[in-house]
């Protein structure tokens, strides 16, 4: 049976948006962490908003590590109540119950990754399908922001490990309690 890892980046005050202000994409530790997660993945789970954002961004990217090429080639499964028909960017729309579909995907793939902590992540957490949560905590306080870490109910996690980078980003790994 495969694993499901949720991964996201945020500020100290739980902000996801305004990344052009606080996200340090040149942090070597962040790059190593992202590489380990993506190069170790067999498929990607995305909600509609992440899918729409990433499909516009990633196909236009290239790098000397092969990260973009690998990420673009991974099969993607998208949970959405509004998208219809065939999807592009090597993506398949999840039909029916999301939790049941992800259980089936866990039987087909060794490692599934999901980006962000929105409705899809909450659904996966509620269904007991999340094995790990990886979060990059950036040393920045935005203050006034629209998109913050939210959950429809309390979620207990236990720390597996945490590693600070030279730039102050903390890469933390958690597992559900």
Structural domains of the chain, ranges and CATH numbers in brackets: 3-176 (3.40.430.10)
Q: Is 73 helix (H, G, I), strand (E, B) or coil?
A: helix
- Give pLDDT, residue 80: 96
- Can you give the pLDDT at residue 73? 97
Residue located via tokens 């498929």: 43
Residue 65: Cβ within 10 Å count: 13
Q: How many residues does the chain have?
A: 177
- What's the pLDDT at 151? 75
DSSP label at residue 95: P
State how beta strands 3-11 and 170-176 pair: unpaired
- What is the structure's pLDDT at 25? 80
| Segments in the chain below pLDDT 70 | none
CA atoms of 78 and 45, how far apart (whole Å):
6
Model-level pTM?
0.93
Task: Please give the pLDDT value at position 147.
Answer: 72
Query: Residue 21: its pLDDT value, please?
Result: 87
Beta strands in the chain (DSSP E): 3-11, 43-47, 76-79, 91-93, 111-115, 132-138, 157-164, 170-176
| Helix 98-108 / helix 119-126 crossing angle, nearest 10 deg | 80
| Separation of alpha carbons 91 and 150, rounded Å | 26
User: What does the pLDDT read at residue 96?
Assistant: 94
| 11 close to 111: Cβ distance less than 8 angstroms | no
């Amino acid at each position: 049976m495969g694993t499901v890892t949720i991964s996201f980046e945020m500020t100290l005050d739980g902000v996801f948006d305004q990344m052009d202000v606080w996200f340090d994409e040149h942090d070597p530790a962040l790059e190593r962490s992202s590489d380990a997660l993506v190069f170790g993945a067999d498929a990607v789970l995305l909600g509609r908003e992440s899918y729409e954002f990433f499909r516009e961004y990633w196909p236009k990217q290239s790098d000397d590590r092969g990260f973009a090429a690998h990420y673009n080639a991974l099969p993607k499964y998208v949970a959405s109540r509004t998208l219809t028909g065939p999807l592009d960017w090597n993506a398949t729309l999840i039909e029916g119950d999301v939790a049941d579909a992800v259980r089936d995907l866990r039987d087909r793939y060794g490692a599934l990754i999901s980006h962000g902590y929105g409705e899809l992540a909450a659904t996966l957490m509620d269904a007991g399908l999340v094995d790990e949560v990886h979060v990059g905590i950036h040393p920045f306080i935005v203050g006034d922001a629209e998109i913050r870490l939210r959950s429809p109910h309390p979620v207990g996690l236990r720390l597996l490990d945490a590693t600070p980078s030279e730039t102050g980003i903390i890469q933390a790994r958690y597992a559900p309690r």
